[in-house]
């Protein structure tokens, strides 16, 4: 699985901190992962420092927007507040590659602005490590996260 800007994929592997040889009931490995690995969530404080300072982090997000309802339909009816976008990232199987790929599909600032201005969507998901295109990372994030 890729990890943000990593050639080596997922984070540091810690070999067997719990081992049957050391008296544990089972062998358990651990991994140290950055927050931008696999499926993750960006809070307003991710790219807007005043929100970070105010404590608007993932633990303050409204979990009502993160439920199974999102998965029930592929249609986007009027008034929808959550959308998951399946892009060419899936067809290219980017999440199955170890090395981070900067050519993934993501939102540019103008696309983010259009969604914010013309819809009631409050949660956007995409099939790679960032909703924003690599070439437009911070501007797109700010458009999406500014209104919390």
CB 134 within 8 A of CB 89: no
* pLDDT digit string, tens, across residues 23-43: 988 888 877 777 666 666 677
Distances (CA, A) of 8 to 5, 34, 109, 133: 9, 13, 29, 21
Q: What tokens were used for 144?
A: 């999406």
How far is the C-alpha of 127 from the C-alpha of 84, rounded, in Å? 8
How far is the C-alpha of 20 from the C-alpha of 58, rounded, in Å? 36
Q: What tokens were used for 3?
A: 């990890």
pTM of the model: 0.59
Of 50 and 1, more confident: 50
Residue ranges of domains in the chain = 14-144
Asked if the model's pLDDT at residue 61 lies above 90, the reply is no
* pLDDT digit string, tens, across residues 108-144: 888 888 888 878 888 888 888 888 888 888 888 888 8
Indicate the range of 62-71, 84-93, 106-115 predicted with least confidence. 62-71
User: How does DSSP classify residue 39?
Assistant: S
CB 79 within 8 A of CB 72: no
User: How does DSSP classify residue 107?
Assistant: B
Q: What tokens were used for 66?
A: 């993160």
């Amino acid at each position: 699985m890729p990890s943000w800007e990593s050639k080596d994929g997922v984070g540091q592997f810690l070999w067997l901190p719990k081992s049957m040889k050391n008296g544990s009931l089972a062998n358990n490995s651990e991994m140290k992962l950055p927050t931008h690995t696999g499926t993750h969530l960006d809070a307003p404080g991710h790219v807007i420092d005043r929100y970070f300072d105010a404590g608007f982090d993932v633990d303050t997000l409204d979990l009502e927007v993160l439920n199974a309802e999102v998965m029930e339909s592929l249609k986007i009816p009027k008034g929808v507040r959550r959308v998951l976008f399946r892009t060419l990232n899936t067809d290219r199987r980017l999440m199955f590659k170890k090395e981070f790929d900067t050519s993934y599909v993501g939102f540019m600032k103008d696309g983010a602005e259009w969604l914010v201005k013309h819809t009631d969507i409050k949660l956007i998901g995409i099939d790679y490590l960032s909703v924003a295109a690599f070439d437009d990372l911070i501007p797109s994030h700010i458009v999406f996260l500014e209104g919390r």
